[in-house]
Amino acid sequence: QVQLVESGGGLVQAGDSLRLSCAASGRTFSINAMGWYRQAPGKQRELVAGISTGGRTNYVDSVKGRFTISRDNAKNTLYLQMYSLKPEDTAVYYCNTVPGWRLSWGQGTRVTVSS
């Protein structure tokens, strides 16, 4: 069974940067499009960035130009580089497949952006 382990979150100030990582066990990673989701307090989980097996990316409008998703299939690892963080980016961030999550959720990594 594939396990997803997210890391890299933390408490930062508005305008700072963070790099999130998602380590996946098993061989499923390289054959799946992957994405980063986030869930802010009191809100539904939303997909913020996705990347195909070939490296094509897409983003939700609110993070375009500030977030960059990438993957290293040799390391079974997904990344999310976040720049110019805003308080509204505060959430727990998770990785999973796209479209639609088909793996068990990891514990997520919490990002808190103070103003």
pLDDT higher than threshold 80 for residue 112: yes
Whole-angstrom Cα distance, residue 72 to residue 95? 14
Dump pLDDT digits (tens) for 56-80.
Answer: 999 999 999 999 999 999 999 999 9
Per-residue b or e along 82-112, where b marks 16 or more CB atoms closer than 10 Å to that residue's CB: beebeeebbbbbbbbbbeebebeebebbebe
Dump pLDDT digits (tens) for 2-45.
Answer: 899 999 999 999 999 999 999 998 777 888 999 999 999 999 99
